[in-house]
Amino acid sequence: MRLRKLIPKYLRLEYKLRKRKATDKKSGICFAVAHASEYTPPFSIEVTQPIRQSSHYENKIDNIRLGADFIENYIIGQNETLSFWEAIGNPSSQRGFKVGRNLIEGKLQADYGGGLCQLSGLIYICALKAGMNITERHNHTVDIYTEEERFTPLGSDATIVYGYKDLRVANPYPFDVRFEFEIKDSRIICKLLSEQQIKERTLEFRRNKIQDKIHVETFADGIYIGDSLYLTQ
């Protein structure tokens, strides 16, 4: 039995949170902070996705709405970083999150905050299109979708695990930006709002099958951004 299995889950999480906080402090990252503002910047880049019917569908909608409400409070200034988990916090039942479908260690399971990965994925795609700096992003380990089921290109996901895996995007522009979301008719729209117009990048996800794995390279306007590796089912 591995030693980590003998340590209670909450203690492992607490250790990870403290370690990350210390690392962030040492690195000097300037995080965006929440601001109360009714002002809507005039320019936007948008990404729309369907919210597919699945088990815990209504809970997923509620989790996405709650997560989006937290994210919308953050105005990201020049050289500031938006951290998904710094903005949302622990997705626990005590904070209003519900049980939904999550991909945990390569398997679909029920867990609190299920559905938030679609929110983080939308932020990732929108940030790529806007030319923001992706300072942390993790892909899922397993590709669970068939081509008929897929609602976003393979390689455009951004899995998040509280305390362990975060999504972080930084604003390189000399003006503020922020994210806004709208859910209607089983669709979710993610907008990156900005004070000045941002050139929208064209994204490309190039696949290469390697035995039981798929390697995906991501490009924005032909410039290499990064890669992802997935196990196939």
Give the separation between CA 223 and CA 149, rounded to whole angstroms. Answer: 28
What per-residue confidence (pLDDT) applies to 109?
A: 73
Evaluate whether 155 touches 218 at the Cβ level (below 8 Å). Answer: yes
Residue 146 binned pLDDT confidence (cut-offs 50, 70, 90): confident
Sign of the dihedral through C-alpha 11, 17, 22, 23: positive
What per-residue confidence (pLDDT) applies to 104?
A: 66
Q: Among candidates 232, 187, 199, which has minimal Cα distance to 213?
A: 232
Residue 38 binned pLDDT confidence (cut-offs 50, 70, 90): confident
Distances in whole angstroms, Cα of residue 67 to Cα of each of 1, 115, 117, 197? 36, 10, 10, 26
Q: CB neighbours of 27 closer than 8 A, spacing ≥ 6? A: none
Query: Is 70 exceeded by the pLDDT of residue 108?
Result: no
Residue 112: alpha-carbon gap to chain centroid? 16
Element (H, E) at 128: helix 116-129
- Cite the DSSP H helix spans in 48-115: 57-72, 84-88
Q: What is the mean pLDDT of the chain?
A: 93
Query: Is 60 exceeded by the pLDDT of residue 54?
Result: yes
Distances in whole angstroms, Cα of residue 159 to Cα of each of 93, 120, 144, 164? 20, 7, 13, 10
Give the separation between CA 154 and CA 175, rounded to whole angstroms. Answer: 31
Query: Is 70 exceeded by the pLDDT of residue 169?
Result: yes
Cα torsion through 199, 36, 89, 178, rounded to 10: 0
